[in-house]
């Protein structure tokens, strides 16, 4: 045993020495890089790079960097600004839009960007169902798209459409994409095709599940970006992404949880950004789910069809406390379905209109509606059915888990028994789209143009069959629909804003859901490498998931930073350490096998 012990020690020393020998020459300083690289952790998968089929948020974001839009929301206040189109005008009847294409703009392969490219893009989406997969909704009202000359694009619509300056459709080069017959072919995700663009960055490498590398477009019409390279690095675990930010392996992380955000605040090398968010969170109330044929679906509690009961629920819950306690203060109190970030179209009830937290009033309303308190503290309706509601939520979501307890408590106080039903995401989708719930936590991401979020609540958006589409609240109200149509046809922005406000007010009064809050977008970046990122809207907005590319396009490297490799140790050192570990393993194995041999030798 003594001999073995000594030998073991010797083997270890030999392994260490060997490791040092190998590691020594490799442990060079960080690779000298002249170029500035911005590395962004991407927690969501990429489904496609093909802009016609890309639907994940991460994929569409990469598309925004690569292909310029006709027009896009400005960084300052999300008002429409020029992209491929330099200017635009509307015919007096509001049905014909004429866009003048920017002069001198080129694709990255040198071809000019023309009106034909734009016309091709829209026509392809209108004609080819596969090309409509991602952006089909933008062209449903289009009658005809033509390019009378290289610099003029004419779009005729069936009905006036105010959101024509907010078409979130990347314009692609006709000479590349006209050769693509099958829009869903896997090769349309390859750099050969998606690498030709007109945006601030160009895709140069796509390693699925690992990395998307983009280079600054030297001929970009607004001017070359200050950074040379933009990399989206795949992370499947947000905690690991945060760790990578701390270690300097990545420079930018978003979608942080309040806990992660607070933890990063104390790091001197890291700058955090608490931005007003673009999502609203709400509590759906199943007031009678129905499908497009107006046939009732699902099994919602009938009591919820009574507006007084819904009103009582709205008054029995306290959204401010959810903001403070569950979201750690990183949210704004809710109002209408257009979040507060989009000031012009956002609507909030005034003090009289707001339901306010008032359990006494809620009890009175329930009494009035005929729901008498039962002996067990649960109200019973005129039909003898107790007011017992199921509350649907995602088990994967921290918010749902914690908020469910608050809601259960508050509603219990006024005599409504709530049983939380927290299930998998798929099950939530299945149950909520099939109307098989009473209350449900939900939410929606919105665009600068309010048309889309308002359209979600129109009768036309009711599901075709049970569980077949995504109607968030099964709202179908004539008055709301009229207001929706009006705002859609109203081309004067101020007039339109007034109608958008009214539509949200109608929604608020009918309470198909209670908009609880607008979550903040929580982001963080390496302040030692990057000085500034433009926000949208300026001052209070977010950097990463903008409508546009301003955040990364305008990234300004910190002074004196040469950019490049990870913070702390350089690539060479990493390699050396990896090599060292390997050597230790190999040397250990060799030592072990030698030991075996020497025993045999002695035998």
Partner 1 sequence: MTGTVLSSGHGPDDPQQRDPDEPRGGTGTARFVARKVGGALTSLVLVVLLGFLLFRMIPGDPVATMTRDRPTSPEQLAQLRERMGLDKPMFQQLLDYLAGLLRGDLGTSYVFNRPVATMIGERVWPTILLVGTATVLAVLLGLWLGVRAAWRRNSMFDRAHTGLALTFWSTPQFWLGMMLLIATQGVFPSGGMRSPDAPSGFFAASLDVAHHLVLPCVTLLVVVYAQYMLVMRSSLLEEMHSEYLTTARAKGLRDDLVRRRHAVPNALLPTMTLIFLQFGMVVSGTVTVEKVFSWPGLGLLTYDALWGPDLPLLQGVFVILTGSVVLMNLLAELLYRVLDPRVRAS
Q: Does 248 bind partner 1 (CB under 8 A)?
A: yes
Nearest to 151 by CA among 108, 121, 122, 112: 112
Helices 238-247 and 258-265: angle between axes, nearest 10 degrees? 10
Residue of the chain from 444, 480, 518, 525 that contacts partner 1 (CB under 8 A)? 444
Shortest distance, position 116 Cβ to partner 1, whole Å: 26
Q: Dihedral of the CA atoms 188, 193, 198, 200 (nearest 10)?
A: 80
Distance between start and end Cα atoms, the chain: 16
Tokens of 196: 């030709």
Q: Which stretch binds partner 1 (CB under 8 A): 119-127, 333-341, 407-415, 575-583?
A: 575-583
Q: Which is nearer to partner 1, 33 or 146 (CB)?
A: 33
Shortest distance, position 601 Cβ to partner 1, whole Å: 13
The 8-class DSSP code of residue 130 comes to G
- Cβ atoms 472, 502 nearer than 8 A: no
Residue of the chain from 208, 305, 325, 372 that contacts partner 1 (CB under 8 A)? 208
- Cβ atoms 104, 223 nearer than 8 A: no
Q: Which stretch binds partner 1 (CB under 8 A): 100-108, 206-214, 259-267, 333-341?
A: 206-214
Shortest distance, position 351 Cβ to partner 1, whole Å: 34
Report the largest interatomic distance among the alpha carbons of the chain, rounded to a whole angstrom.
Answer: 104
Three-class SS state of 192: helix
Strands 388-394, 417-423: pairing kind: parallel
Residue for token pair 């990463």? 544
Q: Which is nearer to partner 1, 145 or 253 (CB)?
A: 253
Shortest distance, position 461 Cβ to partner 1, whole Å: 7
Q: Does 457 bind partner 1 (CB under 8 A)?
A: no
> CA-to-CA distance for 303 and 254, rounded, in angstroms?
41
- Near partner 1 in 45-104, by CB under 8 A: 45, 47-48, 53, 55
Q: Which is nearer to partner 1, 408 or 461 (CB)?
A: 461
Q: Which is nearer to partner 1, 35 or 419 (CB)?
A: 35
Beta bridge partners of 37: 229
Q: Does 306 bind partner 1 (CB under 8 A)?
A: no
Q: Does 578 bind partner 1 (CB under 8 A)?
A: yes
Torsion sign across C-alpha atoms 553, 558, 564, 565 = negative
Residue of the chain from 13, 20, 360, 592 that contacts partner 1 (CB under 8 A)? 592
Q: Does 141 bind partner 1 (CB under 8 A)?
A: no
Q: Does 598 bind partner 1 (CB under 8 A)?
A: no
Q: Which is nearer to partner 1, 406 or 452 (CB)?
A: 452
Label residue 2 exposed, middle or buried (CB < 10 Å: 0-12, 13-18, 19+): exposed
Strands 439-445, 388-394: pairing kind: parallel
Q: Which is nearer to partner 1, 115 or 431 (CB)?
A: 431
Q: Which stretch binds partner 1 (CB under 8 A): 205-213, 339-347, 365-373, 403-411?
A: 205-213
Q: Does 438 bind partner 1 (CB under 8 A)?
A: no
Shortest distance, position 98 Cβ to partner 1, whole Å: 26
Angle formed at CA 170 by CA 169 and CA 176, multiple of 5 degrees: 130
- Cβ atoms 524, 261 nearer than 8 A: yes
Q: Which stretch binds partner 1 (CB under 8 A): 131-139, 306-314, 322-330, 507-515?
A: 131-139
Residue of the chain from 211, 422, 491, 531 that contacts partner 1 (CB under 8 A)? 211
Q: Which is nearer to partner 1, 73 or 566 (CB)?
A: 566
Q: Does 495 bind partner 1 (CB under 8 A)?
A: no
Q: Which is nearer to partner 1, 75 or 454 (CB)?
A: 454
- Near partner 1 in 253-292, by CB under 8 A: 292
> CA-to-CA distance for 491 and 62, rounded, in angstroms?
31
Shortest distance, position 365 Cβ to partner 1, whole Å: 34
Q: Does 237 bind partner 1 (CB under 8 A)?
A: yes
Three-class SS state of 144: strand
Residue of the chain from 382, 585, 594, 598 that contacts partner 1 (CB under 8 A)? 585
Q: Does 31 bind partner 1 (CB under 8 A)?
A: yes
Q: Does 429 bind partner 1 (CB under 8 A)?
A: yes
Q: Does 397 bind partner 1 (CB under 8 A)?
A: no
Shortest distance, position 348 Cβ to partner 1, whole Å: 25
Distances (CA, A) of 325 to 281, 329, 402, 449: 15, 7, 9, 31
Residue of the chain from 79, 178, 247, 479 that contacts partner 1 (CB under 8 A)? 247
Can the peptide bond before residue 537 be classed as cis, meaning omega within 30 degrees of 0?
Answer: yes
Three-class SS state of 253: strand
Nearest to 37 by CA among 558, 528, 531, 563: 563
Strands 96-101, 152-157: pairing kind: antiparallel
Total number of residues that touch partner 1 (CB under 8 A): 80
Helices 398-413 and 307-316: angle between axes, nearest 10 degrees? 110
Q: Does 209 bind partner 1 (CB under 8 A)?
A: yes
Strands 80-82, 71-73: pairing kind: antiparallel
Q: Which is nearer to partner 1, 534 or 557 (CB)?
A: 557
Residue of the chain from 405, 581, 594, 598 that contacts partner 1 (CB under 8 A)? 581
Residue of the chain from 210, 321, 368, 413 that contacts partner 1 (CB under 8 A)? 210
Q: Does 236 bind partner 1 (CB under 8 A)?
A: yes
Q: What contacts 271, CB < 8 A, 6 or more positions away? A: 524, 525, 526, 527
Q: What contacts 415, CB < 8 A, 6 or more positions away? A: 363, 366, 371, 373, 374, 377, 378, 379, 387
Residue of the chain from 121, 231, 273, 318 that contacts partner 1 (CB under 8 A)? 231
Shortest distance, position 60 Cβ to partner 1, whole Å: 10
Q: Which is nearer to partner 1, 467 or 554 (CB)?
A: 467
Q: Does 235 bind partner 1 (CB under 8 A)?
A: yes
């Amino acid at each position: 045993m003594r001999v073995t012990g000594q030998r073991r020690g010797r083997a270890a020393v030999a392994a260490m020495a060997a490791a040092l020998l190998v590691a020594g020459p490799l442990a060079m300083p960080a690779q000298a890089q002249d170029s500035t690289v911005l590395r962004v952790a991407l927690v969501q998968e990429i489904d496609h790079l093909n802009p016609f089929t890309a639907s994940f948020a991460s994929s569409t974001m990469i598309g925004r960097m690569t292909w310029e839009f006709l027009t896009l929301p400005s960084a300052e206040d999300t008002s429409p600004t020029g992209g491929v189109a330099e200017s635009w005008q509307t015919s007096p009847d509001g049905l014909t839009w004429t866009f003048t294409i920017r002069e001198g703009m080129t694709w990255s392969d040198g071809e000019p960007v023309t009106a034909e490219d734009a016309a091709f893009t829209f026509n392809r989406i209108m004609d080819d169902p596969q090309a409509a997969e991602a952006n089909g909704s933008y062209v449903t009202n289009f009658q005809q798209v033509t390019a009378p000359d290289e610099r003029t694009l004419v779009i005729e619509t069936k009905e006036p459409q105010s959101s024509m300056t907010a078409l979130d459709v990347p314009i692609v080069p006709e000479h590349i994409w006209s050769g693509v017959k099958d829009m869903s072919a896997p090769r349309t995700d390859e750099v050969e095709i998606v690498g030709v663009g007109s945006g601030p960055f160009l895709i140069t490498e796509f390693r699925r599940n690992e990395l998307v590398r983009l280079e600054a477009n030297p001929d970009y019409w607004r001017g070359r970006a200050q950074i040379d390279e933009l990399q989206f690095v795949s992370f499947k675990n947000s905690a690991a992404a945060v760790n990578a930010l701390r270690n300097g392996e990545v420079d930018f992380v978003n979608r942080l949880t309040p806990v992660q955000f607070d933890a990063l605040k104390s790091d001197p090398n890291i700058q955090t950004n608490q931005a007003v968010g673009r999502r609203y969170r709400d509590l759906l109330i199943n007031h009678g789910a129905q499908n497009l044929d107006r046939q009732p679906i699902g099994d919602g509690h009938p009591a919820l069809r009574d507006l007084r009961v819904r009103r009582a629920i709205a008054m029995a819950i306290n959204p401010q406390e959810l903001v403070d306690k569950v979201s750690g203060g990183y949210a704004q109190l809710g109002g209408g379905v257009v979040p507060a970030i989009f000031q012009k179209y956002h609507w909030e009830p005034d003090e009289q209109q707001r339901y306010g937290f008032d359990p006494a009033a809620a009890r009175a309303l329930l009494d009035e509606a005929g729901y008498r308190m039962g002996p067990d503290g649960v109200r019973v309706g005129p039909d003898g059915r107790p007011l017992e509601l199921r509350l649907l939520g995602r088990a994967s979501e921290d918010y749902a888990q914690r908020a469910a307890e608050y809601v259960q408590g508050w509603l219990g106080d006024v005599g409504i028994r709530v049983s939380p039903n927290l299930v998998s995401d798929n099950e939530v989708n299945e149950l909520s789209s099939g109307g098989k719930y009473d209350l449900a936590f939900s939410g929606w991401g919105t665009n600068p143009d309010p048309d889309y979020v308002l359209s979600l609540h129109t009768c036309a958006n009711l599901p075709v069959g049970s569980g077949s589409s995504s109607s968030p609240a099964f709202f179908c109200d004539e008055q709301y629909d009229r207001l929706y149509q009006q705002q859609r046809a109203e081309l004067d922005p101020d007039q339109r804003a007034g109608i958008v406000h009214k539509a949200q007010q109608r929604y608020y009064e009918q309470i198909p859901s209670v908009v609880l809050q607008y979550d903040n977008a929580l982001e963080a970046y390496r302040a030692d490498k990057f000085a500034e990122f433009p926000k949208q809207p300026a001052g209070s907005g977010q950097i990463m998931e903008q409508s546009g590319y301003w955040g990364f396009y305008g990234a300004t490297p910190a002074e004196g930073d040469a950019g490049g490799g990870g913070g702390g140790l350089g690539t060479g050192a990493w390699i050396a350490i990896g090599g060292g570990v390997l050597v230790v393993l190999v040397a250990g194995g060799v030592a072990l096998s030698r030991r075996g041999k020497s025993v045999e030798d002695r035998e």
